[in-house]
Amino acid sequence: MFDVQPMELVVLGTVALLVIPPKDLPKAMRVAGYWVGRARGVARQFRSGFDAMVRESELAELQKQWAEENARIMAEHPIPAIAQTEPEPMAIETSGSEPDGADAPVMLEKPVIRDETATNDVPVTAAPPKPKRKPRAKAAATE
């Protein structure tokens, strides 16, 4: 952007030494650095804004191409009339949806769970107990 050659920097440095006294030179360099940083920040912000506009225009162009290609494909391969109709949503009935509960299923008795290995018809209400684990042998302490 700004092309500063080394010879130009030497000329600026000698002019700064002649015009600015040596004790005020560090302060002047700080001020110059501050303004150079601000100029770089403005240039960076301008460039990023410009890049964002380019990206948005490219994206809009790609979306336009995609829409044209999609329209071309849909024209070549039309959807049959049967597939174009949307299926009717299925009604899901829940218990208690009717205020009187007339159509809701009613459980009259508690279900009985039977153990097929048992010979009698005694309902099993709890899971069989788990077998007890054998205690592990403790490792012998090495001396």
pLDDT surpassing 60 at residue 95: no
Tens digits of per-residue pLDDT, 26-73?
898 899 899 989 999 999 999 999 999 999 999 999 999 999 999 999
Q: Which helix (H) or strand (E) holds 27?
A: helix 25-76
Task: Provide the residue ranges of all domains of the chain, joining segments of one domain with +.
Answer: 6-78
70-79, 83-92, 95-104: range with lowest mean pLDDT? 95-104
Distances (CA, A) of 11 to 6, 18, 23, 108: 9, 11, 20, 104
Gyration radius of the chain over CA positions: 43
Instruction: Give the whole-number percent of the chain exceeding pLDDT 90.
Output: 29
What pLDDT band is residue 79 in, cutting at 50, 70 and 90?
Answer: confident
- Could you give the CA distance from residue 32 to residue 40 in angstroms, rounded to a whole number? 12
pLDDT value for 32: 87
Cα–Cα nearest to 16, from 27, 5, 3: 27
pTM over 0.85: no
| Those residues with Cβ within 8 angstroms of residue 28's Cβ, 6 or more apart along the chain or in another chain | 16, 20
Tens digits of per-residue pLDDT, 99-142?
555 666 777 777 778 776 655 555 556 666 777 777 776 665 55
Mean pLDDT (whole number) for 18-29: 87
pLDDT value for 143: 47
